[in-house]
Amino acid sequence: MRLHHGTNIPTDWHYLCVVGRERKFRKNEALILDVEDIAFGGKGIARITTDKGPFVVFIQNAFPGQKVEARVVKCKSKHAECRLEEVIQRSPSEVDHGFQEIPGAPYARVPLELQHKTKEKTALDLYERIGGVDDVQSVYEGFIASPKNWHYRNKMEYSFSAIVHNPKTKEKEDGFGFGFKKRGTWWAVENLNGDSGLYDAQVENFMPTLRGWFEETNLPAWHPPKREGFYRFLVARRSEANEKLLFNLVTSSDGLESFDRQAFVELLKSAFGERLQGVIHTINDDKGDRVEARSGDSELVYGQAFITETLHELNFDIEMSSFFQTNPACAERLYAEVIAAVSASDDASTGSKPFHTGEYIMDLFCGTGTIAQMLARHTGKEIIGVDIVEQAIIDARKSAKNNGTENVQFHAADVGKFLLEFPEYKGRIKSIVLDPPRAGISPKTLRKVIRLGAERLVYVSCNPATQARDIVTLREFGYELKRLKLVDQFPHTAHVEAIAVFEKNLKASNLDE
């Protein structure tokens, strides 16, 4: 069994792809493929003719018109799934963009108009095919583009590695890597030598200088297969509101006595001046390849441990580990749509019942209360924010107090037990806003949401595939899809978000626990 340089990842697995009784592909086998089409989630489609008929191959992050080298990850009787290794020939539709190419922007060369059309087409297909929406165009109200097409991210994570991918030779070399993981690997880093077009131009153009400084300390980059070294990650946050920067350098403790933290701070101060809000140093001795340490400490070594972001005239203090929308400018547009959808429940022209005193709007999975506060500020209604994570609710209450938002109440509670714990809200929840994580809502939790009996659900999804799946259950219990919009929160990727509005036309049935 042959191994990649410096790793324990085999290049020849003895798993075979079978078409009928014919052995087709080995797992991890490299294939040269012409990409013909694309499915939702950025899965490029290639087809191979066999005596049993067309054999479909899906290649993540490939685009129609490309010739690619891909490696087999999974193989079944009628299709295979591959990871993209390299684009051998570009699609005729692709254009140069002037930034360094990185794995996090696989479609940066694809014109934005074509990106939008592709996301729209593949996402809407899900609602018809999985959600059973017969005429999705009758409820679809359009595609919302990001206000910023480049430099839209407010957070970026850079990795160190003692194994460096050389983009010219395509080889893995021993060295000091500082940038992004090479697509398809967890052990090799491709150096970032300039602006990627996604984050902050000043920060990323400074990366070669920063890498040189790290190397001159004579402390090693982390070696993922050996699980040893000093430098592990650098995480950067930027405020869209005031351009302030917050950095978190993650290292191990092995060699800590030789590291001059103050010199690192002075380097950042000289580079970014008044933009530098704070510098954090995190010790992470976990063997796992992740920023968050299960054991170890984070220490603020300069400035403040947060940046402040402003959305819809509300201020939010964001710490390094806090969840917050990665594209704040586009998040404002998304939240505006949510506010409008909730407000429409008080509009007679929609055919829904008007909002009465004593009725509430509920923000489920509210986290630190971003949406709940905006709803409170812009609708003037009474808002209930609910999340099972107690610390998130503590942070939400603090944020609401700082913003002077009074018509909002936050509760740390389980969705299914909420009305038992707070019976005063029974029959008084007018609308519910849902913004679950990417995995979506579990079937059991969705039924708990239905039991709350709201007349309107505004369902924000960062994964239309799971939202389309949930349409079937919502329809079964009397909720009809009325409106649908798509939002491009992440240009140059396959990612797209959706806002769906459901109204209860029938009394929801009683559901078993």
Domain boundaries, the chain: 1-93, 115-148+323-504, 155-311
Matching fold, domains 1-93 and 155-311: yes
3-state SS, one letter per residue, for 362-415: EEECCCCCHHHHHHHHHHCCEEEEEECCHHHHHHHHHHHHHHCCCCEEEEECCH
β-pair partners for 67 = 34, 89
Tokens of 9: 């990842």
Supply the pLDDT for residue 202: 98
Per-residue model confidence as pLDDT tens for the chain (513 residues):
233 333 333 333 334 565 555 556 788 899 999 999 999 999 999 998 887 788 999 999 999 999 999 999 998 888 899 999 999 999 999 999 999 999 999 999 999 999 999 999 999 999 999 999 999 999 999 999 999 999 999 999 999 999 999 988 889 999 999 999 998 889 999 999 999 999 999 999 999 999 999 999 999 999 999 999 999 999 999 999 999 999 999 999 999 999 999 999 999 999 999 999 999 999 999 887 777 766 668 999 999 999 999 999 899 988 888 878 899 999 999 999 999 999 886 554 455 565 566 789 999 988 889 999 999 999 999 999 998 888 889 989 999 999 999 999 999 998 878 888 888 888 899 999 998 887 788 888 899 899 889 999 999 999 999 999 999 999 999 999 999 999 999 999 999 999 999 999 865 555 544
* Sign (positive or negative) of CA dihedral 311, 316, 317, 320: negative
Do residues 203 and 225 touch, judged by C-beta distance below 8 A?
Answer: no
85-119 exposure pattern, b = at least 16 Cβ within 10 A, e = fewer: bebeeebeebeeeebbbbbbbbbbbbebeebbebb
- The helix-helix angle for 207-216 and 261-272 (nearest 10°) equals 160
Spatial separation of the C-alpha atoms in residues 494 and 295, rounded to whole Å? 35
Long-range interactions of 5-11: CB distance < 8 A, separation 24+? 5/163, 5/171, 5/172, 6/162, 6/163, 6/172, 6/174, 6/187, 6/223, 6/225, 7/163, 7/187, 7/224, 7/225, 8/225, 9/185, 9/187
CATH code, 155-311: 2.40.50.1070
Supply the pLDDT for residue 10: 37
Between the CA of residue 211 and those of 149, 160, 214, what are the distances in Å? 28, 9, 5
> Which of 17, 330, 366, 462 does the annotation list as catalytic?
462
Between the CA of residue 436 and those of 102, 129, 146, 443, 460, what are the distances in Å? 28, 22, 21, 13, 7
Supply the pLDDT for residue 392: 85
Supply the pLDDT for residue 509: 52
Q: In terms of pTM, does the model score above 0.95? A: no
Topology (CATH level 3) of domain 1-93 = OB fold (Dihydrolipoamide Acetyltransferase, E2P) (2.40.50)
Tokens of 254: 């092995």
CATH code, 115-148+323-504: 3.40.50.150
Of 159, 155, 495, nearest in space to 321 by CA: 155
Supply the pLDDT for residue 310: 92
Q: Could you confirm whether 75 is annotated as catalytic? A: no
β-pair partners for 319 = 306
